[in-house]
Structure 1
Amino acid sequence: MERSSRLLANLLLLFSVAVLIAAASLYLDNDGGRGTTASLHLTQASWQETTAPSYSPPPATIDSATLPPAWQLVSLPFSPSIALLRQAEAGTSGQPKQAVRVSWLKVAVDNLPVDARPLAVYGIRVKTDGTIAVYINGKLAHQAQQNGPSWNSTRTPLWFTLDQRQSNAPVREILLRLEHSHASQTAVSSLRLGPADVLRSSYHIRMWLQQQLPGMLSAAFMAVGVFALFVWLRRQHEVAYLLFFNLSATAFLRGLHFYVDLRVENDWFAWLTVNSLFWLVLAVHFFLCQLHQRPLVWLTRGLVAVTLAIGVLTLPVLAVLPNMPTVTPLVYLVAPAMSLLACVVGGICAWRHSAEGRLVVYGMFACTAMGMTDWLLQNNVINAEGWYLGAYAPAVCFITFGILMYRRYVDAIAEVERVNASLAERLEKREAELEASHQRLREIELRQTISDERQRLMQDMHDGLGSSLISAIRSVERGDISEARVSQILKDCLDDLKLTIDSMEPVEADLLLLLATLRFRLEPRLEGTGVQLLWEVRELPTLPWLNPSSALHILRIIQESIANILRHTRATEIRVGTTAGADGVQVHIADNGGGFDVAQALHGASGRGLQNQQRRAASVDGKVSWQSNPAGTLFTLWLPLVRKG
């Protein structure tokens, strides 16, 4: 069973992976196999820069020959260096804006394979803070950022298809017109020109890996963080869950500018995305302190002070440090310094005390390296065709802290299983002890029951059978008793012994079953007497208190009543019946013999048998009564449904 379950699980895993791979293939490779014509990879261009009084819409047509003859041969990707201090000073000086610069890149197209399919232009990255215009053979074919750059502009590849007229004519030249501010610079990757269905998969892969996949991972991190928040609301003494939610929220805010298509402005969205990076570093520091259990007061105060200072200085209402691409590169340099300091100090504190703390430090180092790579890419220090790895920093946080939560979850399950196993073992031992104790109690109870029953039998034999035999023995020794009388006494003793034995039979609180036992004893005795026994009993409720001792009293009462009929009357029939009342049951014994004076019999010397019946009935909280007349006698035994004691 276990092997089949494991095989089914492996098959399900393989099926799930296969479905994901198939979906990715269909999404990324959508050319339908309609040819494999190679595209043209353009890596050489001519570059020059001109000035303009202000930003202006790109013209519909332009001839590169009309531009100044100041072309310089450059390689693509092209990313001129940036003077960060001059750029930041221009962004914060508040002086009138200087002339706009326009970068021109002219790419000659040769040896493009002939293909009837629509053509497309694809570039990994085009970065500028002004408008982007692309001309094909001097005609405007594509434009972007007409209202300025968006937050995700540098992470969105260049992609456009040529219209039918442009596709039919041979492409001889691609001209890029990039407007940008006086202090900033541009960056352009190499370009690819070819059939659209051939290049589309490359564009989709880039878009998915640079924007969509990081966005999904960030959203997943945020969803798990919300789950951690609800866990914390139920277990508020465990601050780690609240910190996990804070990490997911700040990481989500930090990554918004990778996916949101909003214009870059010095507004509250920019303030959130800039400051969330510092909040993220601070949240990780607090998490580390929770893991290695050291407060690090001075470091914590320093990190909080720097975070607050950056938050205040970048407030849109103050704009001391505007949240603009010309200023934020210098602000961002503070974040890796904070992160490295927190990593080093936290790593030293956690190295020997917390394996989880070491894992967080590794993850923090990885995120810092990713952030520095982004900073170098954004500021034209490294190749413009590189990847923005900072988009995956929330995923690294998700994986790092997800591993922590996974370990705690697995450890908690293991602890619960260990506790359950311990409880099961203790319960088994306790059950064994209780079973042994119960067995001892049963043995004690059995011995006590046997002792009580022996005591009862001895008492009954002393009061009934014993006294009758002693009386008979003395009478025989004196010689003043007939043989018939001795025979009668011995018969009575035998009946008494039978009653004692019958009272020990289990009757399960059923009076009718007890009466049936008596009937079984009486019928053989009455066969030779000429007395007819009429049995008229009816269904009766059970008597919960009916035990062997009470059963013996009831049997002797009824036996005494029938014996009196046989000894002292000339009855030819005896009727035994039962009735049920609200609070008890009645046993009636009627005969057709001559009656007797009940009062005189009770108070006379011969009334000892009747008095014994009254005494026995009282011992079970019952009552006896006699109604006698010349036609016969009715004896009634009343028994309660519930005894007082």
Structure 2
Amino acid sequence: MKRIARACCRISAWLAFALVAAMPAAWGEPVHLLRAIAVEEAGAGWDAPSAPPAAVSSGAGANPVTLPHATQRAMAASAATAYAGPEVTWYRFDLPPGLRADVVANDLVFYLPRWQTVGTVAVYAGERIAWRSSGSRVWNSFNRPLWVPLAPGAGDAAPSVVWVRMASQPGVGGAVSTAWAGDADELRWRWRMRMLLQVDAITFSTGAFLGIGLFALAVWCVRRREPVYALIFLAAVAHAMRNAHRLIGNQPPWLSDAWFGWMTVNSLAWGQMCVFAFAFRLHGRRMPRLATAMVTLVVLVSLATMPLPWFAPHLSTMLPAAYVVIALQTAVIAGTGLWASWASRSREGLALFAFFALNLPVGVHDLLLQTYKIDIESVYLGAYTSIGVFALFLAIVWRRYVGAIREVSELNAGLEVRLAARERELTASHEQLRGLEREQALAAERQRLMQDMHDGIGSSLMSALRMVEGGQASNVDTALVLKDCIDDLKLAIDSLQATDADLLALLAAVRFRLAPRLKAAGIALTWSVQDLPPLPWLDAQRALHVLRILQEVLTNILKHSGADAIDVATSHEGEEVEVRVRDNGAPFVADGAAASSPAGHGLSNVRNRAQALGARCRWSAWPGGGEFNLRLPLAGPSPTAAFPTAALP
């Protein structure tokens, strides 16, 4: 690394030596002009002549002055001075003969870091006018350094004298800084640095702040409950208004001189009020009386300085006095802001108002510079304190915005942890509920099977047992009872199988279980079924109800009708599906069956089971025999529908 550093140093030294050696030998050192000859011209007008008058060139009344040179300015002058003739002062700069000999004439320039007055300025290269200010006399290009080529023509000779004519409004004074003359390439870096400090840096920052302000305005239009974005926009506009007079060139402002001056002066107070309002967001103290007093002061100053035709004095003659009032406002805002921020332990407020308090010494500096009490070559610092305050303004908003995002992120992370814990709790609770539901379902299924075994198969077996014990049952009767018991058991088993809400699967189970018995009895069983929509409510318990209904109907036909043919058909109509059982035997009349008879008891069971299903059942006759219709709803039975278990056989 040391070898590389040494090599880089050697290369840099050789490059610097080569660069110096490559410079044209004709280039000479620029001359810093620290003295001039001042000549007062009485009775002159505002317009600059094409050449210095003979009375001025003769040197009559000449007065050697040391640069920078200024004539004093009054704190407030009469309004009549705004319309009076100018006070004209000529400054003669003598160029050394050696400079004119060393520098190529085409490259000779005159560089003046600063001039300032309410009036006009013209620069003469010898007897020829080389540059003049244009536009407004009040809001001129005072903040732009002068760069004047002294011999722009190809064959022109370098002048020996440079004249600067300054025509000033009476009472406002004027000032000229030291000057430079020399080769353009030698002086350009000085001019560019001065342009950067006095114009370009302010221009760039003002444009950037305006862009940020417009963005903040767009945000505020969406989020009206957050006035800080509106304050950012207003502060950016006030900052741009305040710096407008520092950026003017040789073109007049877009407003009249009076209104442009009113905007420039009062925008300083407007921007401070934006900071004052923003401070409430930092230290949290409202201070309504102070706020009312400050707003009243700003409004009064704004009204008092309005350029109305009947109002005097003229604004350009009372700028220093207006700035004194604004300085008092600055002191109050800075002092109360520091106190409130300290009392509320607001570090952001302390930082903002500590920097804002710099406006006081900076304001004094700029006021002294404006009244020519200090070196005119100094730079106006008010623009930079304004840039700093606005930058702190944005930094605080950015810090709070990032902090809010961080808080939201932390809150979201905490919510995610809590949500995950809650999900685990809910999952565990859900698993417990599912376990309880499974246990309840199993218990209900066991209860249903026990009830069905007891009421169906159990009662049939008890009847058969009593018949056998009493010696009343023949082998045929016993076999018949046992077959009924077996059919009941098979149907109970079939009801436990998954049917996927398919009614046809249940009918197929009935056919499979009862068809052999019907065939043995000499009864032909035919099926005229068609596809049916699923019945979502058809669980195991309800499936057993359907099986019991069909078993009861087919058993009654087998025992009582004397039929030799049975047809089972299905259909779908509206919100119901229908199961129809038709035989060619003696019709069964439901109204004629006694409740105490076996047929009446079976009829009661069928109706009770149909009621539990939310279905409708009907026995009727047709020309060829009897018919049973069972209509089942697609939507399912009512939640309150229940089957009276006491009615089961």
Q: Please name the residue that 1:14 is paired with.
A: none
Matching residue's letter, 1:267: A
Paired with 1:612 and 1:278, the residues of 2 have a C-alpha distance of 97
Are residue 405 (structure 1) and residue 397 (structure 2) matched?
Answer: yes
Q: Corresponding residue for 1:214? A: 202
Q: Is the 8 A contact 1:221 1:394 kept in 2?
A: no
> Displacement of 1:35 after TM fit?
8.5
Q: Report the counterpart of residue 7 of structure 2 in structure 1.
A: none
**Aligned residue type for 1:108:** L
1:636: how far off? 3.3
Scaled by the length of structure 2, what TM-score is found? 0.80
Determine whether 1:165 maps to 2:157: no
Measured in 2, the distance between the counterparts of 1:433 and 1:142 equals 86
The letter of the residue matching 2:261 is A
Post-superposition offset of 1:153: 1.4
Corresponding residue for residue 105 of structure 1? 92
Q: Which residue of 2 aligns with 1:124?
A: 113
Does residue 269 in structure 1 map to residue 260 in structure 2? Answer: yes
User: Pick from 113, 118, 127: which aligns with 1:138?
Assistant: 127
Task: Summarize deviations over 1:308-366 as a string: whole Å, max 9, x none.
Answer: 55445433235444211x43124323333432343234313322422122022123123
Alpha-carbon separation, structure 1, partners of 2:590 and 2:210: 103
Q: CA deviation at 1:628?
A: 5.9
User: How many correspondences in the alignment?
Assistant: 603
Range with greater deviation from structure 2 (397-406 or 601-610): 601-610
Number of the residue aligned with 1:49: 39
Tell me the equivalent position of 2:307: 316
Aligned to 2:576: 584
The aligned residue for residue 623 of structure 1 is 617
Amino acid at match of 1:61: A
Any conservation in 1 of the 2:460–2:481 contact (CA below 8 Å)? yes
- CA apart distance, 1:619: 3.8
What's the offset of the Cα at 1:425? 4.1
Deviations 1:568-601 (A, max 9, x none): 678776543211112422223345xx62242399
1:552-571 mapped onto 2 (5 Å cutoff): 552-564=544-556
1:418-433 equivalence runs, <5 A: 418-433=410-425
Q: Deviations over 1:131-185 (max 9, x none)?
A: 322222322222224x653525111221344565366434433222222345412
The 8 Å contact of residues 108 and 181 in structure 2, kept in 1 or not, is answered as no
**For residue 37 of structure 2, what is the amino acid of its counterpart?**
W
Contact 2:106 2:151 in 1 (8 A): no
Map 1:501-516 onto structure 2 (within 5 A).
501-516=493-508
**1:538 corresponds to which residue?**
530
Distance 1:148 1:279, change over 3 A: closer
Note closer, same or farther for the CA distance 1:383–1:42 as it changes in structure 2 (3 Å cut): farther
Q: Is the 8 A contact 1:624 1:637 kept in 2?
A: yes
Is 1:256 the equivalent of 2:244? Answer: yes
Give, as a single letter, the amino acid of the residue that structure 2 aligns with 1:103.
Answer: W
Structure-1 residue corresponding to 2:166: 178
Q: CA deviation at 1:456?
A: 2.5
Q: Which amino acid aligns with 2:167?
A: E
Q: Which residue of 2 aligns with 1:19?
A: none
User: Is residue 2:624 matched to residue 1:636?
Assistant: no
Aligned-residue offset at 1:402: 0.8
Distance in 2 of aligned mates of 1:297 and 1:37: 70
Distance 1:572 1:79, change over 3 A: same
CA distance 1:62–1:228, shift in 2 (3 Å) = closer
User: Structure 2: how far apart are the matches of 1:198 and 1:529?
Assistant: 131
Aligned amino acid, residue 452 of structure 2: D
**Aligned partners of 2:92 and 2:405: how far apart in 1?**
62
2:238 partner amino acid: T
What one-letter code is carried by the residue in structure 2 that aligns with 1:499?
L
1:404-430 alpha-carbon deviations (Å, 9 max, x no partner): 211221232233334434444444444
Q: 2:395 corresponds to which letter in structure 1?
A: I
Conserved? CA contact 1:565–1:571, under 8 Å: yes
Amino acid at match of 1:49: V
Higher deviation after alignment, 571-580 or 406-415: 571-580
Once residues 523 and 447 of structure 1 are traced to their aligned partners in structure 2, the CA distance between those partners, rounded to angstroms, is 37
What letter matches 2:306 in structure 1? L
Match of 1:469 among 461, 483, 493: 461
CA distance in 1, matches of 2:290, 2:274: 13
User: Of 603, 628, 634, which aligns to 2:593?
Assistant: 603
Distance in 2 (CA, whole Å) between partners of 1:544 and 1:54 is 110
What per-residue deviation string (whole Å, max 9, x for no partner) do you get for residues 72-100 of structure 1? 6656xx2224433xx34554576994772
Q: Which amino acid aligns with 2:480?
A: Q
Q: Secondary structure at the match of 2:589?
A: helix
- 1:279 counterpart = 2:270: yes
Deviation string 1:275-307 (CA, Å, 9 cap, x unpaired) is 222333344344435533445577657655654
Q: CA RMSD in A?
A: 3.9
Q: Percent same amino acid at aligned positions?
A: 33
Q: Retained in 2: the 8 A contact 1:40–1:192?
A: no
**CA 489–294 in structure 1, closer or farther in 2 if over 3 Å, else same:** closer
Q: Which moved more, 1:530-539 or 1:298-307?
A: 298-307
Tell me: CA distance 1:335–1:618, structure 2 relative to 1, closer, same or farther (3 Å). closer
Which range moved further: 473-482 or 171-180? Answer: 171-180
CA-CA distance at 1:202 after TM superposition = 5.6
Separation in 1 of the partners of 2:473 and 2:333? 120
Alpha carbons 1:626, 1:635 under 8 Å: kept: yes
Paired amino acid for 1:140: I
Counterparts in 2 of 1:69 and 1:618: CA distance versus 1, 3 Å = closer
**Matched ranges for 1:61-460 at <5 A:** 61-62=51-52, 66-68=57-59, 78-84=67-73, 87-88=74-75, 90-92=77-79, 97=84, 100-109=87-96, 110-112=98-100, 113-115=102-104, 120-145=109-134, 149-161=137-149, 164-165=152-153, 168-183=156-171, 184-195=173-184, 203=191, 206-225=194-213, 228=216, 240-241=228-229, 243-260=231-248, 261-262=251-252, 267-288=258-279, 291-294=282-285, 303=294, 307=298, 310-317=301-308, 318-324=310-316, 326-353=317-344, 354-460=346-452
Q: TM-score, normalised on structure 1?
A: 0.80
SS of equivalent to 2:139 = coil
CA separation of 1:383 and 1:624: change in aligned 2, threshold 3 A: same
Amino acid aligned to 2:488: D
Contact 2:46 2:86 in 1 (8 A): no
Distance 1:599 1:282 in 2: 101
